[in-house]
Structure 1
Amino acid sequence: MSFEEACVLKDKFGRNYPIDEKYMGIVMIVPYSDKDLERYISKLKLGEFDDNTAKLFSTDSQFQVCALWSNGMDVLKKSLS
């Protein structure tokens, strides 16, 4: 989906969303491509990103909305639609 479509979808989920029974993720717009998402998540561990950061990592200008949780080493992701 386009970045604008992802923004509309993100607003429906709010700021946080449960990934599972134990973890609450932050709802973020991230690159759609698995390869782009992998690069994005590897850099995400090093600092704080906002939704616009996903644009820098998307090679095809396609995005998805996910709940992400990280402890600084591990990242959990739940796709939201």
Structure 2
Amino acid sequence: MSTGIWVLIVIIVAVLGFIGGFFAARKYMEDYLKKNPPINEQMMRTMMIQMGQKPSEKKLHQMMNAMKNNYGKK
């Protein structure tokens, strides 16, 4: 086989590797964020206090459930 064919094969394999790696990393991050949400109730409580609101447990649970439902729809 000539050198031109080898170069073409290497380029095709590299492009396929980049595309496959992108989608694998994307899937991994989606699963990671679903298992480990970036915000928890303690962080939400702190944000509400900083905004001048008094966080009740009911309100915290409603907000967390709304965030989980919103994330699941995407």
If asked which structure has higher relative contact order (CA below 8 Å, sep 6+), I would say 1
Flag whether TM exceeds 0.5 (same fold). Answer: no
TM-score range, shorter chain: under 0.3
Instruction: Pick the structure with more helix per residue.
Output: 2
Instruction: Pick the structure with more strand per residue.
Output: 1
Look at both structures and tell me which one has the larger radius of gyration over its CA atoms: 2
Q: TM-score, normalised by structure 1?
A: 0.25
